[in-house]
Amino acid sequence: MSIENNNEELFPEFAKVGQPVPEFKMESFDPTEGGFNEVDLGAIRKEGKWAILFFYPADFTFVCPTELADLAAKHKELTDLGAEVISVSTDTKFTHLAWKNDERLLADVKYKMAADPTGEVSRFFDVWDYDTGLALRGTFIINPEGLLVSSEINFYNVGRNADELTRKMEANHYLKDHPEEACPAKWTPGGKTLTPSEKLVGNVYEALND
């Protein structure tokens, strides 16, 4: 696993929303193939896909399998939007395999489970906990151009909601083709969007309710 970072101005020390993410590779366990391979962000971009990185603290823990099962329930919807879904923890690919085989909540997990045992990728996305050597609960959406467009980080004791991740992915997917628009709170496909201009200032209510 390595992050290619040869341009300090282009790639900052930490990932920031709206800025490019460097290409990197991680070893992974692939439940669909039943074996080991790698996550290659460069290859994902060449395929024109979005990347969703779903960091969690550790295998064989308690909240984590509930999150990965919830994510698995939305996996098809996310892939239909052109996203490659990847879970990431500081465990090894071997531990991923053992956990997937033991934990019944993971029965439907089909996305790659990436290994970041050195914490290099976790540190770049600023989810690394220096006190424990684990990753916090971080979710990141990277568009096909390599820009980080969404970032969410929770502490250990609060699980995430894959429904909201899907909603954010739907909004970002829509905005990629409609960059002049903006999605208001709770926007879902088919809902009204906003087109920022001087006419919209002070008139958002009217724009959403006409």
Measured CA to CA, the distance from residue 140 to residue 41 in angstroms comes to 13
Indicate whether 20 belongs to any domain: yes
**Helix-then-strand count for the chain, H and E:** 7, 10
Indicate whether 203 belongs to any domain: no
Confidence class for position 11, pLDDT limits 50, 70, 90 = very low
Determine contact, residues 78/52, Cβ cutoff 8 Å.
Answer: yes
* b (16+ CB within 10 A) / e for 169-186: bbbbbbbeeeeeeebeee
Catalytic, 183? Answer no
Indicate whether 121 belongs to any domain: yes
Q: Residues 41, 44, 64, 78: which is the catalytic one?
A: 64
Q: Which residue has the tokens 């879902």?
A: 188
pLDDT at 191 over 80: yes
Domain of 98?
2-161
**3-state secondary structure at position 110:** coil
Indicate whether 13 belongs to any domain: yes
Determine contact, residues 180/174, Cβ cutoff 8 Å.
Answer: no
CATH code where residue 34 lies: 3.40.30.10
Indicate whether 28 belongs to any domain: yes
Q: Which residue has the tokens 């959403």?
A: 208
Indicate whether 70 belongs to any domain: yes
Mean pLDDT score, 166-174: 98
Domain total in the chain: 1
pLDDT at 174 over 60: yes
Looking only at the bridges linking them, the beta strands covering 50-55 and 83-89 are parallel
List, in order, residues 6 or more apart from 121 with CB less than 8 Å away.
1, 3, 24, 26, 88, 114
Indicate whether 23 belongs to any domain: yes
Measured CA to CA, the distance from residue 202 to residue 30 in angstroms comes to 50
Mean pLDDT score, 83-111: 98
Cα–chain-centroid distance for residue 70?
A: 14
Q: What confidence tens digit (pLDDT) does each residue in 100-118 have?
A: 999 999 999 999 999 999 9
Determine contact, residues 162/51, Cβ cutoff 8 Å.
Answer: no
* Dihedral (Cα; 153, 79, 177, 144), 10-degree rounding: 70
pLDDT at 7 over 80: no
Mean pLDDT score, 16-37: 96
Indicate whether 75 belongs to any domain: yes
| pLDDT at residue 12, rounded to an integer | 52
Measured CA to CA, the distance from residue 31 to residue 50 in angstroms comes to 20
| pLDDT at residue 210, rounded to an integer | 84
